[in-house]
């Protein structure tokens, strides 16, 4: 019998910190995703935010490498722009509009956790729709102590 893998929507900051800060909580989460130990879920909007951030901060080639890394994760699920557009208005007002596509994606994907440092998720009513959790707390749930 196989155990159900935890499905986690990884917010943009998980990927940014995970790539920029080796050994960080976010980096460990990305390692777990790369090892196939969790099911990483993301969205079109995360891909776009990452592309913009890495292109602006490090250049086009770094942006391509970051996106390539993300889309090559085993078991990765990507919530499409069309799926989000169909559902987004149901959740308007729960979090700021710039974060709404991520909340909507996590709900659509029926994840176990939305993992983010973003206080707009942690301190909002998003927790009434999906379990929102910081990276360190997520690792603790997985039994990983630093």
Rounded distance, CA 124 to CA 102, Å? Answer: 13
| Structure-token match 């990927």, residue found | 15
| 112 in Cβ contact with 7 (< 8 Å) | yes
Q: How confident is the model at residue 2 (pLDDT cuts 50, 70, 90)?
A: very low
Task: Tell whether pTM > 0.85.
Answer: yes
Beta strands 39-43; 77-79: pairing state: parallel
Domain ranges of the chain: 7-141
pLDDT per residue as tens digits for the range 45-73: 999 999 999 999 999 999 999 999 999 99
Phi, psi values for residue 9, rounded to 5° = -80, 120
Domain 7-141 carries which CATH code?
3.40.50.1010
């Amino acid at each position: 019998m196989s155990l159900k893998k935890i499905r986690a929507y990884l917010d943009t900051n998980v990927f940014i910190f995970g790539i920029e800060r080796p050994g960080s909580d976010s980096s460990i989460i990305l390692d777990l995703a790369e090892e196939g130990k969790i099911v990483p879920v993301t969205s079109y909007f995360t891909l776009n935010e990452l592309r913009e951030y890495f292109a602006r901060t490090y250049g086009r080639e770094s942006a391509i490498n970051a996106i390539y890394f993300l889309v090559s994760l085993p078991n990765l699920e990507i919530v499409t722009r069309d799926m989000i557009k169909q559902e987004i208005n149901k959740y308007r007002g729960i979090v700021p509009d710039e974060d709404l596509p991520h909340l909507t994606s996590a709900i659509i994907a029926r994840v176990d956790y939305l993992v983010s440092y973003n206080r707009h998720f942690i301190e909002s009513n998003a927790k009434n729709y999906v379990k929102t959790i910081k990276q360190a707390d997520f690792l603790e749930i997985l039994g990983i102590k630093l």
